[in-house]
Structure 1
Protein backbone atom coordinates (compact mmCIF):
# COMPACT_ATOMS: atom_id res chain seq x y z
CA UNK A 1 0.00 0.00 0.00
CA UNK A 2 2.83 2.38 0.80
CA UNK A 3 3.92 2.33 -2.82
CA UNK A 4 0.50 3.68 -3.87
CA UNK A 5 0.87 7.00 -2.06
CA UNK A 6 3.49 8.56 -4.43
CA UNK A 7 1.30 7.63 -7.41
CA UNK A 8 -1.78 9.20 -5.85
CA UNK A 9 0.26 12.26 -4.87
CA UNK A 10 1.62 12.65 -8.38
CA UNK A 11 -1.87 12.33 -9.81
CA UNK A 12 -3.19 14.90 -7.40
CA UNK A 13 -0.38 17.33 -8.22
CA UNK A 14 -1.01 16.91 -11.95
CA UNK A 15 -4.72 17.59 -11.46
CA UNK A 16 -3.90 20.73 -9.48
CA UNK A 17 -1.50 21.91 -12.20
CA UNK A 18 -4.10 21.27 -14.89
CA UNK A 19 -6.71 23.15 -12.87
CA UNK A 20 -4.31 26.03 -12.33
CA UNK A 21 -3.52 26.24 -16.04
CA UNK A 22 -7.23 26.15 -16.87
CA UNK A 23 -7.87 28.96 -14.37
CA UNK A 24 -5.04 31.06 -15.83
CA UNK A 25 -6.37 30.48 -19.35
CA UNK A 26 -9.86 31.64 -18.42
CA UNK A 27 -8.59 34.59 -16.37
CA UNK A 28 -6.42 35.69 -19.31
CA UNK A 29 -9.59 36.35 -21.32
CA UNK A 30 -10.64 39.18 -19.02
CA UNK A 31 -9.08 41.98 -21.09
CA UNK A 32 -10.56 40.58 -24.30
CA UNK A 33 -13.99 40.36 -22.65
CA UNK A 34 -13.72 43.96 -21.37
CA UNK A 35 -12.86 45.08 -24.89
CA UNK A 36 -15.96 43.33 -26.21
CA UNK A 37 -18.28 44.44 -23.41
CA UNK A 38 -17.23 48.11 -23.57
CA UNK A 39 -18.17 48.30 -27.25
CA UNK A 40 -21.47 46.65 -26.40
CA UNK A 41 -22.33 48.84 -23.41
CA UNK A 42 -20.53 52.17 -23.87
CA UNK A 43 -19.20 52.56 -20.31
CA UNK A 44 -16.46 50.84 -18.36
CA UNK A 45 -18.73 50.33 -15.34
CA UNK A 46 -21.36 48.47 -17.38
CA UNK A 47 -18.64 46.52 -19.19
CA UNK A 48 -17.20 45.46 -15.83
CA UNK A 49 -20.65 44.25 -14.75
CA UNK A 50 -20.91 42.16 -17.92
CA UNK A 51 -17.49 40.59 -17.39
CA UNK A 52 -18.10 39.88 -13.71
CA UNK A 53 -21.40 38.14 -14.46
CA UNK A 54 -19.73 36.14 -17.24
CA UNK A 55 -17.15 34.77 -14.81
CA UNK A 56 -19.82 34.09 -12.19
CA UNK A 57 -21.63 31.87 -14.70
CA UNK A 58 -18.39 30.09 -15.62
CA UNK A 59 -17.56 29.23 -12.01
CA UNK A 60 -21.11 28.11 -11.34
CA UNK A 61 -20.48 25.25 -13.76
CA UNK A 62 -19.31 22.04 -12.16
CA UNK A 63 -16.01 20.46 -13.15
CA UNK A 64 -17.59 18.10 -15.67
CA UNK A 65 -19.49 20.91 -17.39
CA UNK A 66 -16.34 23.02 -17.71
CA UNK A 67 -14.39 20.01 -18.97
CA UNK A 68 -16.99 19.49 -21.71
CA UNK A 69 -16.42 23.02 -23.11
CA UNK A 70 -13.93 22.60 -25.94
CA UNK A 71 -13.02 26.31 -26.23
CA UNK A 72 -13.55 28.25 -23.00
CA UNK A 73 -12.64 31.57 -24.67
CA UNK A 74 -15.44 31.16 -27.21
CA UNK A 75 -17.88 30.13 -24.47
CA UNK A 76 -17.00 33.21 -22.41
CA UNK A 77 -17.44 35.47 -25.44
CA UNK A 78 -20.87 34.05 -26.24
CA UNK A 79 -22.05 34.36 -22.65
CA UNK A 80 -20.73 37.94 -22.36
CA UNK A 81 -22.58 38.80 -25.57
CA UNK A 82 -25.86 37.36 -24.27
CA UNK A 83 -25.48 39.23 -20.99
CA UNK A 84 -24.76 42.44 -22.92
CA UNK A 85 -27.88 41.90 -25.03
CA UNK A 86 -29.99 41.54 -21.88
CA UNK A 87 -28.37 44.52 -20.15
CA UNK A 88 -28.74 46.86 -23.14
CA UNK A 89 -32.51 46.87 -22.78
CA UNK A 90 -32.36 47.76 -19.08
CA UNK A 91 -29.60 50.28 -19.77
CA UNK A 92 -31.90 52.13 -22.16
CA UNK A 93 -34.52 52.36 -19.44
CA UNK A 94 -31.95 53.71 -16.96
CA UNK A 95 -30.77 56.34 -19.43
CA UNK A 96 -34.31 57.65 -19.80
CA UNK A 97 -34.13 58.75 -16.15
CA UNK A 98 -30.52 59.97 -16.39
CA UNK A 99 -30.00 63.56 -15.27
CA UNK A 100 -29.31 65.61 -18.39
CA UNK A 101 -27.71 64.17 -21.50
CA UNK A 102 -26.16 60.71 -21.54
CA UNK A 103 -22.95 60.14 -23.51
CA UNK A 104 -20.81 57.03 -23.90
CA UNK A 105 -17.63 57.07 -21.85
CA UNK A 106 -14.58 58.54 -23.60
CA UNK A 107 -11.55 56.27 -23.23
CA UNK A 108 -7.93 56.48 -24.45
CA UNK A 109 -7.72 55.12 -28.00
CA UNK A 110 -5.22 52.43 -26.99
CA UNK A 111 -7.03 51.21 -23.87
CA UNK A 112 -8.01 47.96 -25.59
CA UNK A 113 -5.51 48.12 -28.45
CA UNK A 114 -4.09 44.63 -27.93
CA UNK A 115 -7.33 42.98 -26.82
CA UNK A 116 -9.80 43.48 -29.65
CA UNK A 117 -8.58 40.77 -31.97
CA UNK A 118 -11.38 38.64 -33.36
CA UNK A 119 -11.38 34.89 -33.94
CA UNK A 120 -11.23 35.39 -37.71
CA UNK A 121 -9.79 37.90 -40.10
CA UNK A 122 -12.10 40.87 -40.53
CA UNK A 123 -10.90 41.66 -44.05
CA UNK A 124 -13.85 39.77 -45.55
CA UNK A 125 -16.53 41.22 -43.33
CA UNK A 126 -17.61 44.33 -45.21
CA UNK A 127 -16.99 44.44 -48.95
CA UNK A 128 -17.78 48.15 -49.10
CA UNK A 129 -14.85 50.20 -47.68
CA UNK A 130 -17.40 52.76 -46.46
CA UNK A 131 -18.85 50.08 -44.18
CA UNK A 132 -15.53 49.14 -42.62
CA UNK A 133 -14.41 50.50 -39.29
CA UNK A 134 -11.01 50.27 -37.65
CA UNK A 135 -10.56 48.92 -34.13
CA UNK A 136 -9.55 52.38 -32.93
CA UNK A 137 -12.71 53.87 -34.42
CA UNK A 138 -14.92 51.42 -32.54
CA UNK A 139 -14.07 53.11 -29.24
CA UNK A 140 -14.50 56.62 -30.65
CA UNK A 141 -17.30 58.89 -29.49
CA UNK A 142 -18.31 59.29 -33.13
CA UNK A 143 -19.09 55.60 -33.51
CA UNK A 144 -20.21 54.87 -29.94
CA UNK A 145 -22.93 57.50 -30.26
CA UNK A 146 -24.08 55.80 -33.48
CA UNK A 147 -24.16 52.45 -31.67
CA UNK A 148 -26.48 54.04 -29.11
CA UNK A 149 -29.04 54.62 -31.87
CA UNK A 150 -29.16 50.91 -32.76
CA UNK A 151 -31.45 48.30 -31.30
CA UNK A 152 -29.72 45.95 -28.81
CA UNK A 153 -29.75 43.11 -31.37
CA UNK A 154 -28.26 45.36 -34.09
CA UNK A 155 -25.53 46.56 -31.76
CA UNK A 156 -24.56 43.09 -30.58
CA UNK A 157 -24.51 41.83 -34.16
CA UNK A 158 -22.42 44.75 -35.40
CA UNK A 159 -19.85 44.45 -32.61
CA UNK A 160 -19.55 40.67 -32.89
CA UNK A 161 -19.38 40.50 -36.68
CA UNK A 162 -17.90 43.75 -37.97
CA UNK A 163 -15.49 44.30 -35.06
CA UNK A 164 -14.64 40.83 -33.76
CA UNK A 165 -15.21 38.77 -36.90
CA UNK A 166 -17.68 36.28 -35.42
CA UNK A 167 -19.60 34.37 -38.15
CA UNK A 168 -23.31 35.00 -38.56
CA UNK A 169 -24.14 31.39 -37.67
CA UNK A 170 -22.60 31.80 -34.22
CA UNK A 171 -24.21 35.20 -33.67
CA UNK A 172 -27.60 33.65 -34.44
CA UNK A 173 -27.32 31.59 -31.26
CA UNK A 174 -26.53 34.70 -29.23
CA UNK A 175 -29.39 36.91 -30.41
CA UNK A 176 -31.91 34.11 -30.93
CA UNK A 177 -32.43 34.77 -34.64
CA UNK A 178 -31.80 32.80 -37.82
CA UNK A 179 -28.50 33.40 -39.69
CA UNK A 180 -30.50 35.16 -42.42
CA UNK A 181 -32.13 37.46 -39.90
CA UNK A 182 -28.73 38.19 -38.37
CA UNK A 183 -27.42 39.22 -41.80
CA UNK A 184 -30.32 41.67 -42.01
CA UNK A 185 -29.41 43.03 -38.57
CA UNK A 186 -25.83 43.57 -39.76
CA UNK A 187 -27.07 45.35 -42.89
CA UNK A 188 -29.32 47.61 -40.81
CA UNK A 189 -26.50 48.37 -38.36
CA UNK A 190 -24.12 49.31 -41.17
CA UNK A 191 -26.81 51.57 -42.61
CA UNK A 192 -26.91 53.45 -39.29
CA UNK A 193 -23.14 53.89 -39.45
CA UNK A 194 -23.14 54.98 -43.09
CA UNK A 195 -25.98 57.50 -42.66
CA UNK A 196 -24.44 59.17 -39.61
CA UNK A 197 -20.82 58.98 -40.67
CA UNK A 198 -19.36 62.19 -42.04
CA UNK A 199 -16.57 62.41 -44.58
CA UNK A 200 -13.29 61.31 -43.06
CA UNK A 201 -10.52 63.87 -42.57
CA UNK A 202 -6.82 63.25 -42.04
CA UNK A 203 -5.35 63.37 -38.52
CA UNK A 204 -3.55 66.57 -39.56
CA UNK A 205 -6.78 68.27 -40.63
CA UNK A 206 -8.55 67.09 -37.48
CA UNK A 207 -5.71 68.37 -35.30
CA UNK A 208 -5.60 71.76 -37.00
CA UNK A 209 -9.32 72.33 -36.53
CA UNK A 210 -9.28 71.21 -32.90
CA UNK A 211 -6.23 73.35 -32.07
CA UNK A 212 -7.94 76.36 -33.66
CA UNK A 213 -11.01 75.59 -31.54
CA UNK A 214 -8.84 75.45 -28.40
CA UNK A 215 -6.99 78.68 -29.20
CA UNK A 216 -10.18 80.60 -29.91
CA UNK A 217 -11.98 79.24 -26.83
CA UNK A 218 -9.11 79.93 -24.43
CA UNK A 219 -8.43 83.32 -26.02
CA UNK A 220 -12.07 84.37 -25.83
CA UNK A 221 -12.08 85.11 -29.55
CA UNK A 222 -15.65 84.40 -30.60
CA UNK A 223 -15.05 85.45 -34.22
CA UNK A 224 -12.26 82.88 -34.62
CA UNK A 225 -14.36 80.29 -32.85
CA UNK A 226 -17.24 80.87 -35.25
CA UNK A 227 -14.84 80.35 -38.16
CA UNK A 228 -13.84 76.88 -36.98
CA UNK A 229 -17.35 75.70 -36.06
CA UNK A 230 -19.54 74.16 -38.76
CA UNK A 231 -22.91 75.92 -39.21
CA UNK A 232 -24.71 72.76 -38.03
CA UNK A 233 -22.29 71.98 -35.19
CA UNK A 234 -23.75 70.19 -32.16
CA UNK A 235 -22.50 70.28 -28.56
CA UNK A 236 -23.44 67.56 -26.08
CA UNK A 237 -22.54 67.73 -22.41
CA UNK A 238 -22.79 64.86 -19.91
CA UNK A 239 -22.69 65.99 -16.29
CA UNK A 240 -24.40 62.95 -14.83
CA UNK A 241 -26.14 65.10 -12.22
CA UNK A 242 -22.80 65.78 -10.51
CA UNK A 243 -22.11 69.15 -12.15
CA UNK A 244 -24.17 71.77 -13.93
CA UNK A 245 -24.36 70.95 -17.62
CA UNK A 246 -26.43 71.83 -20.66
CA UNK A 247 -29.60 69.73 -20.28
CA UNK A 248 -30.19 69.51 -24.03
CA UNK A 249 -28.16 69.40 -27.22
CA UNK A 250 -26.85 72.84 -28.22
CA UNK A 251 -27.08 73.30 -31.98
CA UNK A 252 -25.68 75.88 -34.37
CA UNK A 253 -22.39 77.75 -34.45
CA UNK A 254 -23.65 80.87 -32.69
CA UNK A 255 -25.31 79.03 -29.79
CA UNK A 256 -22.34 76.70 -29.30
CA UNK A 257 -19.81 79.54 -29.42
CA UNK A 258 -21.70 81.66 -26.91
CA UNK A 259 -22.16 78.71 -24.53
CA UNK A 260 -18.42 78.00 -24.62
CA UNK A 261 -17.54 81.65 -24.06
CA UNK A 262 -19.84 81.65 -21.05
CA UNK A 263 -18.08 78.61 -19.57
CA UNK A 264 -14.66 80.22 -19.99
CA UNK A 265 -15.84 83.43 -18.32
CA UNK A 266 -17.09 81.41 -15.33
CA UNK A 267 -14.03 79.10 -15.29
CA UNK A 268 -11.06 81.28 -16.30
CA UNK A 269 -8.57 78.87 -14.67
CA UNK A 270 -9.45 75.97 -16.98
CA UNK A 271 -6.45 74.44 -18.70
CA UNK A 272 -6.50 72.32 -21.84
CA UNK A 273 -4.20 69.29 -21.72
CA UNK A 274 -3.68 67.46 -25.01
CA UNK A 275 -4.92 63.87 -25.22
CA UNK A 276 -4.86 61.43 -28.12
CA UNK A 277 -8.29 59.90 -28.52
CA UNK A 278 -9.91 57.46 -30.94
CA UNK A 279 -11.56 60.50 -32.55
CA UNK A 280 -8.20 62.25 -32.93
CA UNK A 281 -6.79 65.14 -30.93
CA UNK A 282 -8.83 65.93 -27.82
CA UNK A 283 -8.35 67.84 -24.58
CA UNK A 284 -8.56 67.07 -20.91
CA UNK A 285 -9.91 70.15 -19.13
CA UNK A 286 -8.38 70.61 -15.71
CA UNK A 287 -8.96 73.06 -12.91
CA UNK A 288 -5.82 73.08 -10.80
CA UNK A 289 -5.30 69.50 -9.62
CA UNK A 290 -8.81 68.38 -10.54
CA UNK A 291 -10.14 66.78 -13.72
CA UNK A 292 -12.92 69.05 -14.90
CA UNK A 293 -13.86 67.33 -18.12
CA UNK A 294 -12.83 65.63 -21.34
CA UNK A 295 -13.52 67.21 -24.74
CA UNK A 296 -13.54 65.11 -27.91
CA UNK A 297 -14.40 66.29 -31.39
CA UNK A 298 -15.69 65.31 -34.81
CA UNK A 299 -14.29 67.27 -37.76
CA UNK A 300 -15.52 67.44 -41.34
CA UNK A 301 -14.38 69.78 -44.16
CA UNK A 302 -11.88 71.41 -41.76
CA UNK A 303 -14.59 72.50 -39.32
CA UNK A 304 -15.72 71.09 -35.99
CA UNK A 305 -19.07 69.38 -36.46
CA UNK A 306 -19.51 67.76 -33.02
CA UNK A 307 -18.20 68.59 -29.57
CA UNK A 308 -18.65 65.95 -26.87
CA UNK A 309 -17.92 67.28 -23.40
CA UNK A 310 -17.77 64.73 -20.60
CA UNK A 311 -18.07 66.29 -17.15
CA UNK A 312 -19.40 63.27 -15.24
CA UNK A 313 -16.48 62.35 -12.92
CA UNK A 314 -17.50 58.67 -12.95
CA UNK A 315 -16.71 58.59 -16.68
CA UNK A 316 -13.29 60.24 -16.45
CA UNK A 317 -11.43 57.62 -14.46
CA UNK A 318 -9.43 56.20 -17.37
CA UNK A 319 -7.69 59.53 -18.02
CA UNK A 320 -4.63 60.71 -16.12
CA UNK A 321 -3.64 64.21 -15.09
CA UNK A 322 -0.30 65.91 -15.41
CA UNK A 323 0.41 66.44 -19.09
CA UNK A 324 1.59 69.83 -20.26
CA UNK A 325 -0.79 72.33 -21.77
CA UNK A 326 0.09 71.99 -25.42
CA UNK A 327 -1.36 71.85 -28.88
Structure 2
Protein backbone atom coordinates (compact mmCIF):
# COMPACT_ATOMS: atom_id res chain seq x y z
CA UNK A 1 0.00 0.00 0.00
CA UNK A 2 2.93 2.35 0.61
CA UNK A 3 3.87 2.00 -3.04
CA UNK A 4 0.55 3.60 -3.98
CA UNK A 5 1.50 6.78 -2.06
CA UNK A 6 3.60 9.62 -3.35
CA UNK A 7 6.87 10.13 -1.46
CA UNK A 8 5.47 13.29 0.16
CA UNK A 9 2.31 11.45 1.30
CA UNK A 10 4.42 8.66 2.74
CA UNK A 11 6.61 11.06 4.74
CA UNK A 12 3.67 13.09 6.07
CA UNK A 13 1.74 9.96 7.01
CA UNK A 14 4.63 8.20 8.74
CA UNK A 15 5.82 11.25 10.64
CA UNK A 16 2.34 12.27 11.80
CA UNK A 17 0.33 9.06 12.09
CA UNK A 18 3.10 6.63 13.04
CA UNK A 19 5.59 8.75 15.00
CA UNK A 20 3.11 11.32 16.33
CA UNK A 21 4.73 14.51 15.05
CA UNK A 22 2.44 17.55 14.92
CA UNK A 23 1.71 18.83 11.41
CA UNK A 24 3.70 22.00 12.21
CA UNK A 25 6.74 19.81 12.95
CA UNK A 26 6.19 17.75 9.78
CA UNK A 27 5.97 21.00 7.81
CA UNK A 28 9.36 22.13 9.13
CA UNK A 29 10.95 18.79 8.23
CA UNK A 30 9.59 18.54 4.69
CA UNK A 31 9.53 22.24 3.82
CA UNK A 32 5.78 22.55 3.23
CA UNK A 33 2.95 24.25 5.07
CA UNK A 34 1.04 22.58 7.91
CA UNK A 35 -2.11 22.58 5.76
CA UNK A 36 -0.26 20.89 2.90
CA UNK A 37 1.10 18.23 5.27
CA UNK A 38 -2.37 17.65 6.73
CA UNK A 39 -3.72 17.15 3.19
CA UNK A 40 -0.86 14.79 2.30
CA UNK A 41 -1.55 12.64 5.38
CA UNK A 42 -5.27 12.66 4.58
CA UNK A 43 -4.55 11.49 1.02
CA UNK A 44 -2.25 8.76 2.35
CA UNK A 45 -4.95 7.51 4.74
CA UNK A 46 -7.46 7.47 1.89
CA UNK A 47 -5.07 5.36 -0.22
CA UNK A 48 -4.57 2.95 2.67
CA UNK A 49 -8.33 2.57 3.10
CA UNK A 50 -8.77 1.90 -0.61
CA UNK A 51 -5.96 -0.67 -0.62
CA UNK A 52 -7.29 -2.74 2.26
CA UNK A 53 -9.01 -5.94 1.23
CA UNK A 54 -12.30 -6.43 3.02
CA UNK A 55 -11.91 -9.04 5.75
CA UNK A 56 -13.42 -12.43 5.18
CA UNK A 57 -16.50 -12.69 7.44
CA UNK A 58 -15.95 -14.85 10.54
CA UNK A 59 -18.72 -17.26 9.52
CA UNK A 60 -16.99 -17.91 6.19
CA UNK A 61 -13.60 -18.24 7.92
CA UNK A 62 -15.07 -20.81 10.31
CA UNK A 63 -16.55 -22.76 7.40
CA UNK A 64 -13.21 -22.81 5.57
CA UNK A 65 -11.33 -23.90 8.71
CA UNK A 66 -13.92 -26.64 9.31
CA UNK A 67 -13.59 -27.82 5.70
CA UNK A 68 -9.79 -27.80 6.08
CA UNK A 69 -10.04 -29.94 9.24
CA UNK A 70 -12.39 -32.40 7.55
CA UNK A 71 -10.24 -32.64 4.42
CA UNK A 72 -7.07 -33.17 6.49
CA UNK A 73 -8.70 -35.90 8.59
CA UNK A 74 -9.98 -37.59 5.41
CA UNK A 75 -6.58 -37.10 3.71
CA UNK A 76 -8.52 -35.55 0.80
CA UNK A 77 -5.68 -34.03 -1.20
CA UNK A 78 -7.90 -32.36 -3.81
CA UNK A 79 -10.05 -30.69 -1.15
CA UNK A 80 -6.98 -29.46 0.75
CA UNK A 81 -5.45 -27.98 -2.39
CA UNK A 82 -8.76 -26.29 -3.24
CA UNK A 83 -8.85 -24.65 0.21
CA UNK A 84 -5.31 -23.28 0.04
CA UNK A 85 -4.18 -20.23 -1.88
CA UNK A 86 -1.61 -21.39 -4.46
CA UNK A 87 1.00 -19.20 -2.71
CA UNK A 88 -0.03 -20.16 0.84
CA UNK A 89 2.58 -20.52 3.58
CA UNK A 90 2.86 -22.55 6.77
CA UNK A 91 5.08 -21.56 9.66
CA UNK A 92 5.48 -23.84 12.66
CA UNK A 93 7.09 -23.11 16.02
CA UNK A 94 8.40 -25.97 18.08
CA UNK A 95 10.83 -23.77 20.00
CA UNK A 96 13.50 -26.44 19.62
CA UNK A 97 11.61 -28.48 22.20
CA UNK A 98 9.38 -30.56 19.91
CA UNK A 99 9.69 -31.68 16.32
CA UNK A 100 8.30 -29.45 13.63
CA UNK A 101 9.14 -28.05 10.22
CA UNK A 102 12.43 -26.19 10.35
CA UNK A 103 11.55 -23.71 7.60
CA UNK A 104 8.33 -22.18 6.30
CA UNK A 105 6.56 -24.27 3.70
CA UNK A 106 5.42 -22.35 0.64
CA UNK A 107 2.90 -23.35 -2.00
CA UNK A 108 -0.32 -25.35 -1.76
CA UNK A 109 1.12 -28.58 -3.19
CA UNK A 110 4.09 -28.59 -0.79
CA UNK A 111 1.84 -27.80 2.17
CA UNK A 112 -0.57 -30.61 1.31
CA UNK A 113 2.32 -33.05 0.90
CA UNK A 114 3.57 -32.14 4.39
CA UNK A 115 0.09 -32.32 5.92
CA UNK A 116 -0.63 -35.76 4.48
CA UNK A 117 2.78 -36.96 5.67
CA UNK A 118 2.07 -35.55 9.13
CA UNK A 119 -1.37 -37.16 9.25
CA UNK A 120 0.22 -40.55 8.67
CA UNK A 121 2.53 -40.06 11.67
CA UNK A 122 -0.04 -38.78 14.17
CA UNK A 123 -1.77 -41.30 16.40
CA UNK A 124 -4.68 -40.70 18.74
CA UNK A 125 -4.87 -37.04 17.77
CA UNK A 126 -8.10 -35.15 18.43
CA UNK A 127 -8.52 -31.92 16.45
CA UNK A 128 -11.02 -29.39 17.81
CA UNK A 129 -12.34 -26.19 16.29
CA UNK A 130 -11.54 -23.29 18.60
CA UNK A 131 -11.08 -19.54 18.49
CA UNK A 132 -7.39 -18.75 18.08
CA UNK A 133 -6.22 -15.14 18.21
CA UNK A 134 -9.83 -14.02 17.84
CA UNK A 135 -10.40 -16.06 14.66
CA UNK A 136 -11.50 -19.60 13.83
CA UNK A 137 -8.62 -22.01 14.36
CA UNK A 138 -7.78 -25.54 15.43
CA UNK A 139 -6.42 -27.12 18.60
CA UNK A 140 -4.89 -30.60 18.50
CA UNK A 141 -4.85 -32.83 21.57
CA UNK A 142 -3.01 -36.07 22.12
CA UNK A 143 -4.11 -38.15 25.10
CA UNK A 144 -6.06 -35.11 26.34
CA UNK A 145 -3.02 -32.81 26.26
CA UNK A 146 -2.89 -29.85 23.84
CA UNK A 147 0.06 -30.41 21.51
CA UNK A 148 -0.62 -27.89 18.73
CA UNK A 149 -2.59 -24.68 18.23
CA UNK A 150 -3.19 -23.63 14.61
CA UNK A 151 -4.15 -20.14 13.43
CA UNK A 152 -5.30 -19.30 9.91
CA UNK A 153 -5.31 -16.23 7.71
CA UNK A 154 -8.19 -16.56 5.26
CA UNK A 155 -8.48 -14.28 2.25
CA UNK A 156 -11.65 -14.66 0.25
CA UNK A 157 -12.38 -18.38 0.12
CA UNK A 158 -8.80 -19.58 0.49
CA UNK A 159 -6.33 -20.05 3.30
CA UNK A 160 -3.36 -17.74 2.76
CA UNK A 161 -1.25 -18.42 5.89
CA UNK A 162 -1.16 -21.11 8.57
CA UNK A 163 0.71 -20.75 11.87
CA UNK A 164 1.17 -23.85 14.02
CA UNK A 165 2.47 -23.48 17.56
CA UNK A 166 3.87 -26.66 19.09
CA UNK A 167 6.31 -25.13 21.58
CA UNK A 168 5.13 -26.41 24.99
CA UNK A 169 6.19 -23.15 26.66
CA UNK A 170 3.86 -21.20 24.37
CA UNK A 171 1.03 -23.71 24.87
CA UNK A 172 0.92 -23.31 28.67
CA UNK A 173 -1.89 -20.76 28.55
CA UNK A 174 -3.89 -23.15 26.38
CA UNK A 175 -3.40 -26.10 28.70
CA UNK A 176 -4.58 -23.95 31.60
CA UNK A 177 -7.87 -23.25 29.73
CA UNK A 178 -8.74 -26.81 28.78
Q: Give your verdict on TM over 0.5.
A: yes
Distance 1:314 1:248 in 2: 20
Distance 1:222 1:265 in 2: 13
Correspondence for 1:168: 20
Which residue of 35, 57, 66 maps to 1:211?
Answer: 66
1:228-268 alpha-carbon deviations (Å, 9 max, x no partner): 11111100011110111111110111100110111111003
The answer on whether the counterparts of 1:270 and 1:287 sit within 8 Å (CA) in structure 2 is yes
The answer on whether the counterparts of 1:279 and 1:298 sit within 8 Å (CA) in structure 2 is no
Q: Which has the higher strand share?
A: 2
Which residue of 86, 103, 106 maps to 1:248?
Answer: 103
Question: Structure 2 matches for 1:249-264, cutoff 5 A?
Answer: 249-264=104-119
Which residue of 273, 288, 292 maps to 2:128?
Answer: 273
**Residue 310 in 1 paired to residue 162 in 2?**
no
Distance 2:121 2:176 in 1: 22
Correspondence for 1:8: none
Which residue of 92, 95, 101 maps to 1:237?
Answer: 92
Runs of 4+ in 1 over 6 A off after TM superposition: none
Q: Tell me how many residue pairs correspond in the alignment.
A: 144
Displacement after TM superposition at 1:168 (Å)? 2.4
Q: Aligned-residue CA RMSD in angstroms?
A: 3.0
Distance 2:148 2:95 in 1: 12
Distance 2:112 2:95 in 1: 23
Correspondence for 2:6: none
Distance 2:52 2:94 in 1: 25
In structure 2, relative to structure 1, the CA distance for the partners of 1:321 and 1:261 (3 Å cut) is farther
Distance 2:132 2:74 in 1: 24
Displacement after TM superposition at 1:274 (Å)? 2.1
In structure 2, relative to structure 1, the CA distance for the partners of 1:245 and 1:198 (3 Å cut) is farther
Displacement after TM superposition at 1:321 (Å)? 6.8
The answer on whether the counterparts of 2:94 and 2:166 sit within 8 Å (CA) in structure 1 is yes
Listed as ranges, the gaps of 5+ residues in structure 1 are 1-153, 173-178
Listed as ranges, the gaps of 5+ residues in structure 2 are 1-13, 30-36
Query: SS of 2:173's equivalent?
Result: coil
The answer on whether the counterparts of 1:285 and 1:293 sit within 8 Å (CA) in structure 2 is yes
The answer on whether the counterparts of 1:279 and 1:296 sit within 8 Å (CA) in structure 2 is no
